[in-house]
Amino acid sequence: MHAVAAAAPNIALIKYWGKRDRARNLPAVGSISVTLAELETRMRIEFDDTLDADKLTVNGATEARMLPRISRCLDAVAGTARSRARVDSIVNFPVAAGLASSASAFAAAVVAAAKAAGREIDRHTLANLAGSASGSAARSLYGGFVELENRDQTVAVHTLREAEDWPLRVVVAITSSGPKPVSSGDAMERSRLTSPFYRRWVDEQPTDLAAARAAIGARDFAALAAISEHNCLKMHSVMWASRPPIVYWNSATLDCMQRIRELQAVGTEVFFTIDAGPQVKAICTPDCEAQVKAALAELDGVESVMVSGLGPGAALTDDEWAT
């Protein structure tokens, strides 16, 4: 009655921002992301009749804040009549790094919970179960370049191109490890209700998705860079125009963007993207990785820099913890 699954976080290039159905956590727009490698959440789930409540640990410490969401996710996968569960999770990257640790956590949770409960659940259904816990988690069920499309009452997620097919690198510049001023769920709702740009954002998303899909299909770095930066800045413009405004950036965020523009001006294949936080993710070709990493690491206000390749979707793994 136990299983272990591993899942990586993902970084959206064409962003999910806004919900069309808050109760079911269905996104207002489709999105395209890259699933990372090396960084992972490894989760062990054991259903145990002798427990009187679910228990969750993260890196060995009891974690109460995330527990209700994990419990709801286990109910969705294994049914509300399930036994209580012992859930132990090991995260090998800083949770405050702005890497959507909830995406890797819920992707790992649905895969491990289905196996531990003895349920055969196809990947499409697992992606929807993960997505109802955290929208971006649906994408971490798949590897490489991943598209999430809206369907009637569901999402459909698939790999557009495998990681090995276009092995780009992701350099993450951490500019602040403090907590978010506003959660992304609340911020999305505020944007929907108050931003004058929200409707336009939703209406234009199919055009941006099509451009990114074509760029990934053709492995056209310049085209992917242009549409990804545009989509990121448009999402943040929606937030900035919300009332009260939602500004996740700090001055180091802007310094990183400026440095990336300088690198682009001398021909470096790199572009930026920024999520619901102040960290800057620089996507680059393998040849440019060392240069990008050094250029960001030396900036004042950059606390640390992490690098990742692209990798596979969530999967069951053997019963050993990563050490």
Applying CB under 6 A, which residues contact ligand 2P0? 12, 15-17, 25, 31, 100, 102, 134-136, 184-185, 275-276
CB of 5 to ligand 2P0, least distance (A): 18
Rounded CA-CA distance 238/204 in Å is: 12
CB nearer to ligand 2P0: give 136 or 159: 136
What six digits make up the tokens of 249? 């950036």
DSSP string, 65-105: SSHHHHHHHHHHHH-TTSPPEEEEEEE-S-GGGSS-HHHHH
> Comparing C-alpha atoms, which of 216, 235, 234 is closest to residue 225?
216
* Comparison of 3 and 29: residue with beta carbon closer to ligand 2P0: 29
Q: Which is nearer to ligand 2P0, 17 or 47 (CB)?
A: 17
Q: Please, what is the minimum distance in Å from the beta carbon of residue 13 to ligand 2P0? A: 9
Note whether 134 and 103 are within 8 A (CB). yes
Shortest distance in whole angstroms from residue 29 CB to ligand 2P0: 9
Q: Which is nearer to ligand 2P0, 13 or 295 (CB)?
A: 13
Q: Name which of 321, 317, 323, 312 is nearest 5 in CA terms.
A: 317
Neighbour-count burial of 253, counting CB atoms closer than 10 A to its CB (0-12 exposed, 13-18 middle, 19+ buried): buried
Nearer of residues 47 and 142 to ligand 2P0, judged by Cβ: 142
Q: How far is the CB of 226 from ligand 2P0 (least distance, A)?
A: 18
Minimum distance, C-beta of residue 215 to ligand 2P0, in the bound complex (Å): 17
Which of these, 114, 93, 119, 115, lies nearest to 104 by C-alpha position? 93
